[in-house]
Structure 1
């Protein structure tokens, strides 16, 4: 999986798909810096570290709603499209769909397959049924009733604001467990693209909305559920130190013992 840059436009090349980042509204973080200064009543409007502080300190992150990233998706399946379109706070959707256009190929699931050959055969049969209806003169919108969810859609465009990406899309599809395989791969590509522009910003979103934050929430849930007492915790920590001879921070130890998460599925 690689990122290719052509005339300043970046494309993530996945295994069976590609994503082109056609717009990124604030690559130098200057507009975010100005709005962060206005929000906090500060005069240094060019302080590009302040937006990161807003995320870290838990301030209302409204300033990130005004900045956008636009992605163009190529050879992405209907399944992934359906997962992305659920975000009602996305800014824009442009898709020809299968009312006027048709699909020509499909992609297999990226989840664990018990019999890849059989899955491939059955999906291919569905695709052939869809193509047969088209060849018999049925309209694309009628024929799509037989189209498999694994069918690749024609190029479509989604535009998301920074806040939706950080708080919802990345969080739910790659930072928490349970998302379906093809969706994970595509959203990971979106992450790689924005991270290549401003790693400090997106690393901060990850730290405070991603896996570390999810694990910390799980720590609190388990401590409350198990009614862990201080004495019991000290004994557990002492036993860990004796058994492993490792030096870890309190945060690392809490995450190790109580922070492991599982998919709800």
Structure 2
């Protein structure tokens, strides 16, 4: 997997798909800096570190709703499209779909497969029946009833604001366990693209909305459920643990995530 840049436009090349980042509204973080200053009543409107502080300190992150990233998805399956379209605070969706257009290929699941040959044959048979309907004169909207969920869609475009990406899309699809394999791969590509523009901002979102934050929530849940006293916690500490930070020890002891699936 790699990022290719052509005339300033970046494309993430996945194993069976690609994503082009066609727009990123605030690459230098200047608009976020101005809005952060207005929000906090500050005069230094060019302080580009302030938006990061808003995330870290838990202030209302509304300023991030005004900035957008636009992605163009190529050879992405219907399954992944359905997962992305669930985010109702996305700004824009442009997709020809399978009402006027048709699909020509499919992708196999990236999750654990018991029998690769059986899965391939089943999906291939479904794709073949879909093509038979088209060849026999059925309209694309009728034929799509037989189209497998693994079918690759024609190029489509989604535009997300920064807040939806950080709080929902990345959090639910790559930072928490349980997302389906192909969706994880595509959303990871989206993450790689935005991270390549502003690593400080997106690392901050990861720290406070991503896996570390999710693990900390899990620590609190387990401690609360077990009703642990300070004495009980101290009795769990072994000699080898004394060199660790307390946060690292708590996450290692109680922070392991489990998929709900």
Q: Which interval holds the TM-score relative to the shorter structure? A: over 0.9
Aligned position for 2:101:
101
Q: Distance in 2 between matches of 1:3 and 1:86?
A: 26
User: What are the superposed Cα offsets for residues 122-180 of structure 1, whole Å, 9 maximum, x if unpaired?
Assistant: 00000000000000000000000000000000000000000000000000000000000
For the pair 1:258 / 2:254, whether they are aligned, the reply is yes
1:247 to 243, 253, 259: 243
Q: Distance in 1 between matches of 2:208 and 2:142?
A: 46
Q: Distance in 2 between matches of 1:93 and 1:73?
A: 11
Contact 2:102–2:154 (CA under 8 A) maintained in structure 1: yes
Q: Distance in 1 between matches of 2:147 and 2:242?
A: 55
Contact 2:241–2:249 (CA under 8 A) maintained in structure 1: no
Aligned position for 2:214:
214
Q: Give how far 1:247 is off.
A: 1.4
Q: So what's the TM-score if we normalise by structure 2? A: 0.99
For the pair 1:63 / 2:59, whether they are aligned, the reply is no
Q: Distance in 2 between matches of 1:245 and 1:203?
A: 27
Aligned position for 2:183:
183
Q: Secondary structure at the match of 1:27?
A: coil
Q: Distance in 1 between matches of 2:137 and 2:235?
A: 74
Aligned position for 1:127:
127
Q: Distance in 1 between matches of 2:21 and 2:241?
A: 47
Aligned position for 1:228:
228
Q: After superposition, where does 1:1-265 map in structure 2 within 5 Å?
A: 1-237=1-237, 240-241=238-239, 244=240, 247-265=243-261
Q: Distance in 2 between matches of 1:135 and 1:235?
A: 71
Q: Distance in 2 between matches of 1:6 and 1:169?
A: 26
Q: Which runs of at least 4 in structure 1 moved beyond 6 Å after TM superposition?
A: none
RMSD: 0.7
Q: Distance in 2 between matches of 1:125 and 1:235?
A: 59
Q: Distance in 2 between matches of 1:248 and 1:174?
A: 27
Q: Secondary structure at the match of 2:216?
A: helix
Aligned residues: 261
Q: Give how far 1:245 is off.
A: 6.1
Q: Relative to structure 1, is the Cα distance of residues 254 and 245 closer, same or farther in structure 2, using a 3 angstrom cutoff?
A: closer
Unaligned runs of 5+ in 1: none
Q: So what's the TM-score if we normalise by structure 1? A: 0.98
